[in-house]
Amino acid sequence: MTLPKTGTSFEDASDVSLIRDVLGEISHGYVEKVDRDKLINGAIDGMVKTLDDPYTRHLKKSDYSSFQEQTAGHFGGVGIELGIREDKLTVIAPIKDTPADRAGVQAGDLIEKINKTSTAGMPIEKAVKLIRGPEGSKVTLWFIRNGGKPFSKELTRAAIKLPNVSGRLIDKTFGFIRVHAFNENSAKDIRQELDDLKAKGAKGVIIDLRNNPGGLLNEAVQVSSIFIKSGPIVRVKSRDGKTDTLSASDNADDKTPLVVLVSRGSASASEIFAAAVQDRNRGIIIGEKTFGKASVQTVVPLPDGSGLVMTTAKYLTPKNRSLNKRGVTPDITVKMKKKNWD
């Protein structure tokens, strides 16, 4: 759950001077030459670590850039959603109308190598970094399909716009909308998809939030406002104990029957939406108990191009429930199968 914020100055100059003194002593007096940037980053990381909060973190320049790309939902790459199946780096699906899609990459293809680097034991995060790159640059991926011989495809990276949502009509009766993340314009995309499905005859709608990790607070409120006509969506409690209530805006569809699918991987903004639907009796929640991340992070850009993602508030549901480490308990519990990728 993230919000933008500008930096603020530190008020106690004596504390800052102590840090500066230690930095100076180490820089000039340590037995070996030290990297000043490494010292500064180490000091920042040390401060953050003492907070014992997994959601507050210092992002170095490259990581901050990637974070911004992910939040905006676009980046330079080839258009592949990655996963791990039986310890192998696997294509979950190519994104429609991207270099990978046009090259014939298929769901279920194993990726054996990225350029000359083997993917054996490689975490997804590293694979993503190797595959992404500047628009117009090239990357060679080696695939294995259906147990056959390895084959390669040289792909030219392009600007990739991740779809916020995807939808379809089920049995000519129900609209199904998969929400991939609460990024910029998610609410706009969901509203458009809902209108399109209703125009095709949908009498009810299923919102799929399974494994949706969340995203932007304002998008969670706007998405909730599509289905909840008025009243509280989420309450945000700051460090001084002050609680701000964020309420639904007008022009909601509060009549169409609504089902929300959740899983253990549904977190943050997903939980805000699901809890609002549940507390306001707007629909039925089906699936597994959600992750239980009930905090708001503020993104603070730092002067050197890095960033600080910092927990600045906690949120409560419309009925003042805290979901921290508790999650949203579905109205109907259905366990997800381990091999369920849909």
Residue of 263, 266, 268, 270 marked active site: 268
For residue 86, count other CB atoms closer than 10 A to its CB: 6
- Which residues, listed in sequence order, are joined to residue 208 by a DSSP beta bridge? 178, 261
Residue of 113, 237, 293, 314 marked active site: 293
Instruction: Provide the total of helices (H) and of strands (E) in the chain, helices listed first.
Output: 8, 20
Residue 279 designated active-site:
yes
Alpha helices by DSSP H, listed for the chain, are: 13-29, 36-50, 61-72, 99-102, 124-131, 186-199, 217-227, 269-279
What is the rounded CA–CA span in Å between residue 215 and residue 222? 12
Q: Could you give the C-alpha distances from 59 to 16, 63, 77, 214, 267, in angstroms and in order?
A: 21, 5, 21, 19, 21
What does DSSP say about strands 307-316 and 74-77: parallel, antiparallel, or unpaired?
Answer: unpaired
Phi, psi (rounded to 5 degrees) for 63: -70, -35
What is the rounded CA–CA span in Å between residue 205 and residue 124? 33
Choose among 52, 103, 106, 116: nearest CA to 81: 106
Residue 322 designated active-site:
no
For residue 290, count other CB atoms closer than 10 A to its CB: 27
Residue of 279, 295, 306, 314 marked active site: 279
Residue 268 designated active-site:
yes
Q: What angle do CA 123, 124, 129 make, to 5 degrees?
A: 105
Which residues have a catalytic role annotated? 268, 279, 293
